[in-house]
Amino acid sequence: MLLRRMLLFLSRQRFLEEFFRKNHFGSRAKKRFVAGETRLEALNTTYRLNREGFKVTLDYLGEEVSAAQDAAAAVEEYTALVRDLARENLDAGLSVKLSHLGVRVDPDLAFENLLQVLNTAREYDRFVRVDMEGSDLTEITLDLVHRAHAQYKNIGTVIQSHLRSSGEDLDHLVREGIPVRLVKGAYLENANVAFQNREDTLLSFMRLAETLLKEGQQPAIATHDEKLIEFASDMAFIFGLDESDFEFQMLYGIRRTLQAELLSKGHRVRIYLPYGKDWYGYFMRRLAERPANLWFLLRHLRE
């Protein structure tokens, strides 16, 4: 737990980024969790995953931008990506972060940027998922998603089961018919806003999954935790859902055997596929989820 907190703390300390970038830690990290640094690599990996039967959601890596032009560059990349996905006829949508679209610079700017991405995505019949970041951005994220949904139906967001407020937030999203991806939550949070132990987060996940599967639009259960996957499958069966009514989502490079197993049982499985140069924050959160990854990388540091 202490190591997890330390890694999550370090994920926000950008001074380490250069070290990782220069060290061959970097290329190992990328290979393990990221499609590559370029759009072409992302498209190639999407093609391969689609051929294996997986759906994909693409994350152009980047977060916490502090200049409007960096947010504009993200919009440009996402729009180009949507066009390429459509041209190549790939089965993939987008995952975006509001801190990448400039919410720290100006929430109105981020909203305009989000609408621009949604507009192009709608033109090409693509779905846009707004990822959920740290709890200081939960309220603004939900607010902008609700507002955007009034104009664009190709939008959904994410609910984190470790947050105490998630029950209410999920109910609101479900009432509005906004699609939700349910996750445990990957950010460092204080006890006043988030459960601090795994059991509480797990129980909360189960309660939220029940609501989502019973009443939600296109429910997405995003976890690598077999107990939760089994729970969600059972709930879906009880509520009379068939395999095309909901989907499981997993991160690229994590528990590949389990991903393939779910596919072979007839489930819809979507892979969250990141690409781009700005992989540090994403990579550190993956380390924090499973500190054993750190030992694997440390062993290779000397090579």
CB of 88: closest distance to ligand FDA in angstroms?
22
Where b means 16+ CB within 10 Å and e means fewer, 56-77 reads bbbbbbbbbbeeeebbbebbeb
- Binders of ligand FDA among residues 262 to 291 (CB under 6 A) are 272, 286, 289-290
256 lies in the binding site for ligand FDA (CB under 6 A) = no
Structure tokens at 69: 């032009």
Q: Which ranges constitute the DSSP H helices of the chain?
A: 2-10, 15-22, 25-33, 39-52, 68-87, 107-123, 138-149, 166-176, 198-215, 226-238, 256-264, 280-289, 292-301
Nearer to ligand FDA, 1 or 22 (CB): 1
Judging by DSSP bridges, how do beta strands 128-130 and 220-222 pair with one another?
unpaired
Indicate which single residue of 110, 114, 132, 221 sits in contact with ligand FDA (rule: CB under 6 A). Answer: 132
Which residues are marked as active site?
131, 181
Answer yes or no whether residue 184 interacts with ligand FDA by CB under 6 A.
yes
Binding-residue pattern over the window 193 to 232 for ligand FDA, x denoting contact by CB under 6 A: -----------------------------xxxx-------
Nearer to ligand FDA, 123 or 230 (CB): 230
105 or 188, CB closer to ligand FDA? 188
Q: Does residue 109 contact residue 102 with C-beta atoms inside 8 Å?
A: yes
> Residue 156's Cα: distance from chain center in Å?
11
- From the list 74-82, 163-171, 172-180, 185-193, the region that binds ligand FDA by CB under 6 A is 185-193
183: three-class secondary structure by DSSP: strand
Give me the residues that bind ligand FDA (CB under 6 A), please.
131-132, 158, 160, 183-187, 222-225, 249-251, 254-255, 272, 286, 289-290, 293
